[in-house]
Amino acid sequence: MKGSFWGGWAAMLLASYVLPVHAQSLAGVWQGVEDEFDKKEYCPSVLRIQQRAGDDLFGVLYQQAGAQGGVSVTFQMEGVPTPAGLTLTHVRKLNETGRSFFRYWCAGSITFTYDAPQEKLTGHATYDPQGECSTGEFTFYRIRLKSAATVPAGALSTLRISGRDLRWYADAELKQPVATGNTYATRLSKTTTFYLRQGYFPTAESPVVPITIRVSGTARGPATELVAAPAPAPLALLAPVAIAPTPLPPLRLMALPPAALPALSATPAVLPTVLFRVATAELLPAARPALDQLAAELKSRPGLRLRIAGHTDKVGESTKNQLLSEQRAEAVKNYLVQAGVAAGRLSTVGYGDTQPLYPSPDARNRRVAVAEVP
């Protein structure tokens, strides 16, 4: 929603839902802007969408006023798929910075149309009447692998990924740039994870998206190493909106740490890449390497027993979060059992939303930790 600066406070509207089912999953992280061509009041935005039970969708929408981010808001969103895309409504504010009597954020409902080849969402917002709130136009893009997920070892392969103004990195800290743009021709000798970020209206909340390319077979001749390219120029930002920024720290919603399996001990250790989809116990694909490594460690140490602790973010009802944390711990246990670890060596516990590690909402709070037990 567009930030308007003439007075009042945010209004919220819960729209009635329609129930058509959309065949394409729109879950994921979308980056873009509201009112791209309004140079005075454009709003860089990040939209996170997850699937709940049935057809219901759950989301978090972050927006900031202009390029600087001193004035920002984070909304909880809910909605459903439509034949052309999806519809989302604003439920409540989760966070707001730069608030004053003369600033408010519009709220209502947004209808999105999905362009599958481009992984693009085009949205039209209809806002609850308040001050200058009326309509708004959104454009979002999603980072997604469009070429084969498995390539032959040592062969020249062109990787294609959707998004706008893409930057490719070899590490999650974004210190080793390797390419720019939507394609990258490379030879891989082993399974490799690239970390990508869009430069299209970037914000402090712009996600880093890991894309893993698996390698089949054995390379002939010398292996080709991944070489870092020269660092790209800093992401260009549009001219800032003419407001005084408030020196408040921005939220950190989705910055993911690098994959690593911490040393196992009696002290609980967080598995940093073992994360879950919002409001579910469904493991994200990035969790598999760490869990496979953990399973291998357990099988190499037959006497080792673990307690698996599940956690949730502080979004939603505490009673539901408690149950969800227990289900997340069970999901990890089930994964390890399927990998060949005896169920009797694993116990689970859930702590709900009582032990967040980061300000909510943050994907890293939807986590598990493991500890050795006698």
Higher pLDDT, 198 or 364: 198
DSSP-assigned beta bridge partners for residue 112:
86, 123
Query: 96-105: per-residue pLDDT in tens?
Result: 888 777 778 8
pLDDT bin (cut points 50, 70, 90) of residue 55 is: confident
DSSP state of 258: P
Amino acid 14: pLDDT = 29
147-156, 171-180, 278-287: segment of lowest average pLDDT: 278-287
Domain 150-216 has CATH 2.60.40: yes
Amino acid occupying residue 21: V
Higher pLDDT, 163 or 23: 163
| In the chain, where the domains are located | 3-142, 150-216, 269-372
Per-residue burial over 63-100, b = 16 or more CB atoms within 10 Å of its CB, e = otherwise: bbbbbbbbbbbbbbbbbbbbeebbbbbbbebbbbbbbe
Query: 289-301: per-residue pLDDT in tens?
Result: 888 888 888 888 8
Q: Is the confidence at residue 16, as pLDDT, over 50? A: no
Average pLDDT over residues 335-361: 86
Query: 290-339: per-residue pLDDT in tens?
Result: 888 888 888 888 888 888 988 988 877 777 888 888 889 888 998 998 88
Joined tokens for residue 317: 């009802």
Average pLDDT over residues 257-275: 68
pLDDT bin (cut points 50, 70, 90) of residue 78 is: very high
Strands 120-130, 108-115: parallel, antiparallel or unpaired by DSSP? antiparallel
Q: Is the confidence at residue 264, as pLDDT, over 80? A: no
- Cβ atoms of 260 and 363 within 8 Å: the answer is no
11-15, 199-203, 274-278, 359-363: segment of lowest average pLDDT: 11-15
Q: Is the confidence at residue 75, as pLDDT, over 90? A: yes
269-372 in CATH: which number? 3.30.1330.60
pLDDT bin (cut points 50, 70, 90) of residue 24 is: low
Which CA distances in Å does 248 have to 8, 13, 40, 98, 120?
Answer: 21, 28, 22, 8, 31
DSSP-assigned beta bridge partners for residue 58:
50, 78
d(CA 329, CA 300): 22
Average pLDDT, the chain: 79
Q: Which CATH architecture has domain 3-142?
A: Beta Barrel (2.40)
